[in-house]
Amino acid sequence: MAIPTEMTPFQAVVYYFDQACDRLGVNDEIRALMCTPDREVRVELPVRMDDGGLQVFIGYRIQHNNARGPYKGGVRYHPEADEEEVRALASLMTWKTALVDIPFGGAKGGIQCDPRSMSSRELQTMTRRFTHSICQIIGVNRDVPAPDVGTNAQTMAWMMAAYSEENGYSPGVVTGKPMELGGSPGRNEATGKGVSLMVREAAEGFQIPLRDATVVVQGFGNVGSWAAKYLDQMGCRIIAVSDVSGGVRNGGGLDLDGLQAHLDSTGGVFGFSGGDAVTNEELLALECDFLVPAALGGAIHSGNAANINARLVVEGANHPVTPGAEAVLTQRGIPCLPDLLVNAGGVTVSYFEWAQNIQRFPWDLERVNKELEDILVRAYRAVEEKAKAENITFRESAFAIAVERVVRAVELQGLP
């Protein structure tokens, strides 16, 4: 197999999309229509900072495709959240919602900023300004934002409030809200829970006993920390984790409660006394059953894929494995469970939240968790079955299933 050279994040999604189109025999017109986003909005966000100076941030909302339902996807606050990155993530959301078969399209937002260096007042001002700037293109039946890297339930509460100022009380315009404002039980931990369910299914499929299976988690934010907790509960041994502060390993299994207490008091996992320090590159190269990259895109690339020592790579983050790296892993017999399947738990519970908001009828946690498990396990089985039947990777299978559903929805609605 030829190893693809390194690509930008959007080129990578287009590469997988094109592969799926070739496999499905999608014609050039539909391919051209579906490849690029339907709409890209760039806004300037002037914010009066606490020191009295004016700073102008740049925000984006990119709507990729809405053939299967309102545009859906998170809003990322990060210094590298540029147009290219947001475009890639928007496209990935189209395929993710289609794969788990929930009635949404794909979109993503982003503001280039460093939220960790901003005060709560500055963040609120920026978020409200962003919401007012994109008010015309979002809405309960148009486009429904949610949290992503650098944003959280508080960010969504500000977005909902700003949108509601112009449109009347509208809880269903964003998901991932606090419970008091119409959030869903289980939404905060949903992505990590989904990751753990996909590991459980893969353990069965690849015949790796879950009890005492060794797990390495890169990124200990909302996705990685919940995934680690659920996997620990399932009997796995979490032997190393890292975040921006550094990494820590303990071959006997990390004490996650102790680690969380350390994180709460110091702001990072670095320096935790229950293990030895490791660098990020050392962590990625550790021998383990499941390696879960749950931080940012591009963590595993052509330059370090040869060092990976896991039996399976499980993409908790969005596009953490580049196409070049996946080719190397595939050659080395290390399967990669793709982001659009592994981290779809978040948007799936976002769908439940949206449904509860529309119906003004809350669900309990038990129902949320049951429906989440049903949807994700069904998606896993479909991807596994197609991958086996056609002797293709899990990612190729997932993209083929997703692209086929969106193509059908586009065709049924008729081309101009």
In this chain, which stretch among 121-129, 268-276, 281-289, 345-353 interacts with ligand GLU, using CB under 6 A?
345-353
In SS3 terms, the chain reads as CCCCCCCCHHHHHHHHHHHHHHHHCCCHHHHHHHHCCCEEEEEEEEEECCCCCEEEEEEEEEEEECCCCCEEEEEEECCCCCHHHHHHHHHHHHHHHHHCCCCCCEEEEEECCCHHHCCHHHHHHHHHHHHHHHCCCCECCCEEEEECCCCCHHHHHHHHHHHHHHHCCCHHHCCCCCHHHCCCCCHHHHHHHHHHHHHHHHHHHCCCCCCCCEEEEECCCHHHHHHHHHHHHCCCEEEEEEECCEEEECCCCCCHHHHHHHHHHHCCCCCCCCCEEECHHHHHCCEEEEEEECCCCCCECCCCHHHCEEEEEECCCCCCECHHHHHHHHHCCCCEECHHHHCCHHHHHHHHHHHHHHHCCCCCHHHHHHHHHHHHHHHHHHHHHHHHHHCCCHHHHHHHHHHHHHHHHHHHHCCC
Least spacing, CB of residue 140 vs ligand GLU, in Å: 13
Least spacing, CB of residue 96 vs ligand GLU, in Å: 6
* Contact (CB, 8 A) for 269 and 262: yes
Least spacing, CB of residue 113 vs ligand GLU, in Å: 17
For ligand GLU, the binding residue among 37, 69, 73, 109 (CB under 6 A) is 73
* Contact (CB, 8 A) for 350 and 175: yes
Catalytic residue (one of 72, 96, 108, 229)? 108
For ligand GLU, the binding residue among 170, 184, 318, 322 (CB under 6 A) is 318
Least spacing, CB of residue 147 vs ligand GLU, in Å: 6
For ligand GLU, the binding residue among 34, 62, 102, 146 (CB under 6 A) is 146
Least spacing, CB of residue 347 vs ligand GLU, in Å: 4
Residue 175 found at the interface with ligand GLU (CB under 6 A): yes
Taking CB atoms, the residue at the shortest distance from ligand GLU is: 74
- Give CA–CA dist 217/192, Å, rounded: 11
For ligand GLU, the binding residue among 68, 72, 311, 319 (CB under 6 A) is 72
Ramachandran angles phi, psi of 403, nearest 5°:
-60, -40
In this chain, which stretch among 45-53, 153-161, 229-237, 346-354 interacts with ligand GLU, using CB under 6 A?
346-354
Least spacing, CB of residue 258 vs ligand GLU, in Å: 29
For ligand GLU, the binding residue among 148, 232, 243, 326 (CB under 6 A) is 148
- What's the alpha-carbon Rg for the chain, to the nearest Å? 20
Least spacing, CB of residue 239 vs ligand GLU, in Å: 27
Q: Is 386 a catalytic residue?
A: no
Please say which residue, 109 or 275, places its beta carbon nearer to ligand GLU: 109
- Give CA–CA dist 408/397, Å, rounded: 17
In this chain, which stretch among 133-141, 226-234, 340-348, 384-392 interacts with ligand GLU, using CB under 6 A?
340-348
For ligand GLU, the binding residue among 125, 155, 350, 397 (CB under 6 A) is 350
For ligand GLU, the binding residue among 217, 296, 347, 407 (CB under 6 A) is 347
Least spacing, CB of residue 65 vs ligand GLU, in Å: 14
**Interface positions, 105-134, toward ligand GLU (CB under 6 A):** none
Please say which residue, 102 or 269, places its beta carbon nearer to ligand GLU: 102
Q: What count of other Cβ atoms lies within 10 Å of the Cβ of residue 13?
A: 26
Please say which residue, 172 or 176, places its beta carbon nearer to ligand GLU: 176
In this chain, which stretch among 69-77, 224-232, 393-401, 404-412 interacts with ligand GLU, using CB under 6 A?
69-77
Residue 384 found at the interface with ligand GLU (CB under 6 A): no
- Give CA–CA dist 311/209, Å, rounded: 12
Size of the site for ligand GLU (CB under 6 A): 13
Please say which residue, 45 or 223, places its beta carbon nearer to ligand GLU: 223
| Contact set with ligand GLU (CB under 6 A) | 72-74, 96, 146, 148, 175-176, 318, 343, 346-347, 350
Please list the active-site residues. 108
